[in-house]
Amino acid sequence: MSIKEFSGETGIPASTLYKIISEEGKDFRRSTLRQIVEGVKKLEGSDQERVLGIITTRTALDTIGRTIEVDGKTVAIKEFPATTIEEAIIQGVRAEKAGVKGIICGPIAATTLERVVDIPITAFRFDEELLMDAISKLADKI
């Protein structure tokens, strides 16, 4: 693979890659090294781990484990806490940059994030039983 092709695949400027491999002994940033490593992982296909991002409140995230077994396959869960719609959108962009394969979030954030990110988005819905339970608890308080 040529430097130009690697640059195109990873988004690292070709001039930066040429500086690194030249004999000049130039220093480069840690972020550039990180980009190179992530680029190599992507090209080798080692980033194909099943990782999902969940965007919700910290208290809800605390009840979820780090991995879940689905159809005999392990799915890693990456947490992205948010308490406002703005935070949820920001966390959605961060989740995509972090390499998650899909995002689960609330329905309002999901409709916006579908237009912003290029990974699958699923909105979680509240079960009718949970809603009726909440209504009954609130009715008892009034």
Residue 112 has, within 13 A of its CA and on its CB side, a CA count of 13
Q: Which domain holds residue 12?
A: 3-44
- Residues 28 and 12 both lie in one domain: yes
- Residues 115 and 57 both lie in one domain: yes
Alpha-helical regions (H) of 62-127:
85-98, 107-116
- Residues 36 and 62 both lie in one domain: no
The dihedral sign for the CA sequence 21, 25, 26, 31: positive
pTM for this one? 0.59
Per-residue tens of pLDDT for the chain, all 142 residues: 788 888 888 888 888 888 888 866 667 788 888 888 888 877 665 545 788 999 999 888 888 878 888 888 888 889 999 999 999 999 999 999 888 999 999 899 999 999 999 999 999 877 778 778 888 888 888 8
Q: How many domains are contained in the chain?
A: 2
Is 137 inside any structural domain? no
